């Protein structure tokens, strides 16, 4: 019984460490590829929403951390890697503004 309890505690610590590491990786991704500048705030709320505030004032609110990969692709494909100024996700579309000023809306 003690072994089971010890195993459960160790497993929980490992999972927490991996989760934190993943969040830090996403933080770096957002910093370099989405903001194209420093990130002032990166947070994940209890309901899973991600909020990013870039040092140049750009703000993003995402429904999940998985949306970061989509934002990265949009930045590369549509904004030539210059960064996003705004991003909005609806049930059918992604609307965004490149830092150059280009406004686009694409279907999911």
pLDDT for 40-84, tens place per residue? Answer: 888 888 887 778 888 888 888 777 767 878 888 888 899 988 888
Q: Which of 62, 68, 34 is nearest to 47 (CA)?
A: 62
pLDDT at position 104 is 92
Per-residue pLDDT tens for 6-50? 334 344 434 444 445 676 666 666 666 677 778 888 888 888 777
Closest CA to 68 of 98, 46, 42, 40: 42
Say what the pTM is.
0.61
Give the H/E segment covering residue 75: helix 67-78
pLDDT of residue 3: 45
Q: What is the DSSP string of 11-41?
A: HHHHHHHHHHHHHHHHHHHIIIIIISS-EEE
Residue 18 backbone dihedrals phi, psi, to 5 degrees: -65, -40
């Amino acid at each position: 019984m003690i072994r089971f309890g010890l195993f459960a505690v160790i497993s929980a610590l490992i999972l927490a460490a991996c989760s934190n590491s993943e969040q830090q990786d996403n933080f770096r991704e957002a910093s370099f590829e989405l903001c194209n500048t420093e990130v002032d705030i990166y947070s994940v709320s209890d309901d899973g929403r991600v909020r990013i505030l870039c040092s140049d004032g750009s703000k993003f609110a995402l429904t999940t951390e998985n949306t970061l990969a989509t934002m990265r692709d949009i930045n590369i494909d549509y904004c030539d890697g210059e960064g996003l100024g705004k991003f909005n996700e609806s049930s059918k579309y992604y609307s965004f503004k490149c830092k150059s000023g280009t406004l686009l809306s694409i279907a999911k």
